[in-house]
Structure 1
Amino acid sequence: MGKLKRRRTKKIEEIDNEIKNAVNEYKNEPNRYVMISKKIGKGFTSKQIRQRWLSHLDPSICHEELNEDEKKYIIEWVKDYKNNNSSDKICWTKLISEMNSKFGKLRSENKVKNFYYLKERQKKTTTFE
């Protein structure tokens, strides 16, 4: 690994640690991500900090790959949800909550969405071939 990559990785780790510490410090504050953004500075918005926390740093998030049962559940759940709701908007937080109850693993919204939309794209490309 080159020096530049090591420095960049170390810098990211430092920022991640600052975010983790600040989340613990401001855990009961209503606008904690805004407060963390101001505290850390470095040009990160509250939205970026929130996203980093929810997708990568939150220790309750399971980072393992989705297993086959989870994948099937996501596909079926979204299909049922779309059939029972007039809105095209999918309630990902509801799906994630139900998956957590069913499988005992809290997944990030990004992981679930990325899996689902990848499957949708694959379905479309195989349809045209």
Structure 2
Amino acid sequence: MIRLMLLLCLLASPLAAAQPMSAAEFEAYVTGKTLYFGSEGAAYGVEEYLPDRRVRWSFLDGDCKEGHWYADAQMICFVYEDMNIPQCWSFFREGSGLRAVFENDPQNTVLYEAQQNDEPMLCYGPDTGV
């Protein structure tokens, strides 16, 4: 009985929680794909994962930001052309997709993979004036 209780405590401990993906696992999963993310049941954004850890992100509005990602401890951090502050996430494999937890946010924004394909994402050209 004591052994059973110890086993149950161990399984309920944070050590038994899912571990974030390593950089190698993340790179193998995403490279060459376009992933669509959702949050709280709504569409959130899309990211295209290019060779050499390059990325292209959009909030589904056709305005795309070029960037790259790198590993920092157990996190995957993104830097985009319009911001120098890294956006760091922990990625977890869950079911047939990914769950991402935004580590820069005290509220821990959580995104989930809603769809994936290998087609390039829609990006409009730069704004043009008259």
Normalising by structure 2, what TM-score?
Answer: 0.22
Higher relative contact order (CA 8 A, sep 6+): 2
> Per residue, is there more strand in 1 or in 2?
2
> Per residue, is there more helix in 1 or in 2?
1
